[in-house]
Amino acid sequence: MRSGPLAVVGASVLWGTAGTAGLLVSADSVALAAARLVIGGTALALFAGPAQLRRTIRPGLLVAAAAVAAYQLCFFAAVGRTGVAIGTVVAIGSGPVFTGLLSWVLHGQRPSGRWTVATTAAVCGCAALIAGGGAQAGGQVVSGILLALLGGLLYAFYAVSAATAIGRGAGSNAVMGVLFGGSAVIMLPILAVGGVGWLGEPRGLLAVLYLGLGTTALSYFLYGRGLRTTPVATAATLALAEPAVAALLGLVVLDERLAPISVAGLVLLALSLVAVAVPERTPRRALESQP
């Protein structure tokens, strides 16, 4: 197996630890998301270096940076209206679908049949995994679902934008530096308005440093490396490993329990991710026709 899918899965594993780490922080979810992006985005921008950033900045990537920040706000607004289960399933589950469609419409990269089947199964597994937790939907369900769908579309947009820039020869570190450095600038005023007093707690400071440096900077460094050799639609499906890791951490660290339907969803999700990650064989006739 190529290293690209493994890098994407590594990024997803780090994303999956964010929820458990976030429980150590007393701040509200929007302030936490803002701090995470400010720290992680700054680290990615510094790692890329000013020279690479200047060469890589393009209007399209700046729009994608705004999409990174908007995704965070849409996701947390959706969860506040629908509850964690529905908001997470719709936002995370719709991301791979939108990514495949955008890649097809914008770049003519039609998803394979195996990707379509495996992605559908993975989304169903993700839904079963989270729904089995018994979380209930909250008040404004319709508006929350629309916001979650918008979040999934925003994720797809910045993922496809990053993959396109990398495919055209830009360095993955520089692309991620532009995307997340830009989002850090956007989220800084939100962090300032929300207040930073909670960062004075040692446990909260350590947690937010891990969220920024581990689940944002390191994870998107790996994700960018993965996009060098992995089609973006495939990468988006592999990113569905995130809720699986979160569920397993809840089971092991937080002493939560998984219902039978959640266990079935976890197995279905794992099998689907393996099906997407394993490269498809090139037909023998195609190989024989090559010079």
Mean pLDDT within 236-252:
75
Instruction: Provide the 10 A C-beta neighbour count for residue 261.
Output: 15
Nearest to 259 by CA among 152, 151, 131: 131
| 165 pLDDT tier (thresholds 50, 70, 90) | very high
Mean pLDDT within 197-215:
88
Q: Between 205 and 121, whose confidence is greater?
A: 205
CB 139 within 8 A of CB 113: no
pLDDT at 241: 80
pLDDT in tens, 25-69: 777 778 888 999 999 999 999 999 999 999 999 999 999 999 999
pLDDT at 143: 81
CA distances from 95 to 57, 119, 122, 254 (A): 25, 10, 12, 27
pLDDT in tens, 68-100: 999 988 888 877 777 666 666 677 777 788 888
CB 156 within 8 A of CB 233: no
pLDDT at 275 over 50: yes
pLDDT in tens, 148-164: 889 889 999 999 999 99
Provide the terminal-to-terminal Cα distance of the chain, rounded to the nearest Å: 25
